[in-house]
Amino acid sequence: MTDSAMVRGSGKPLGEWLAILDAWGARERKHPDTARWLVSEHGIGGWWAQSVTVGYEKARGMRAMHQAPGGFAVSVSRTIAASADRISDAFTDPTLRVEWFPDAPISVWTANRGRSARFDWDDPPSRVGYNLIPKDGGRILLALGHEKLP
C-alpha cells in the first residue's frame, strides 16, 4: 500500500504509525488488541486499523509476507462443467471422495449441498473450504481455499 493511500485512509503515513505503535508497545501485544486500540484511541476505521496493524507486523518482522493471522492460505478457482450437487458430493461423500482423493485426512465441518462446505484437515491441522457459484451454460465456478497453513 502506498503512503498516500495510507494517509488518505488513516490520517498518517505508515512510518508515523510505526513510531506510535512502538511507543505503545505493540510488539508485545496481539493483533486484535492493536487494531482495537487504533480504533478506540486514534479514531480510525476498522479496515484501516487492520491495515496499519498488518503493516506494523510486517515492518517489525512479526508477520511474513502474505501471512494471515492464523497462518498462510492458498486458493484457486476453476469453472467446471458439472452440477453443483455433483461437485458437492465429490467432496462430502466419503465413497466418492476416496476415488479421487484416497488418503484425504479431512472431516466435514459444515456443508450446504450445492453451495459450500468447510472441512477440518487433520495433518497439518488446517481448514479447507469451497464455494460454488453458478455460471452461464450450466457450469459452476468452484472457489477452493486451504487456510491456517503453517
* Residues in Cβ contact with 70 at an 8 Å cutoff, skipping those fewer than 6 apart: 147, 148
CA distances from 134 to 89, 143, 144 (A): 16, 11, 15
Q: Residue 67: pLDDT above 90?
A: no
Amino acid 36: pLDDT: 97
The pTM score is 0.62
Q: Which three cell numbers stand for residue 20?
A: 506510535
Q: Which three cell numbers stand for residue 119?
A: 472441512
105 preceded by cis ω (within 30°)?
Answer: no
Q: Which three cell numbers stand for residue 129?
A: 473450504
Q: How far is Cα 130 from Cα 114, in angstroms, rounded to an integer?
A: 10
Confidence at 20, pLDDT banded by 50, 70, 90: very high
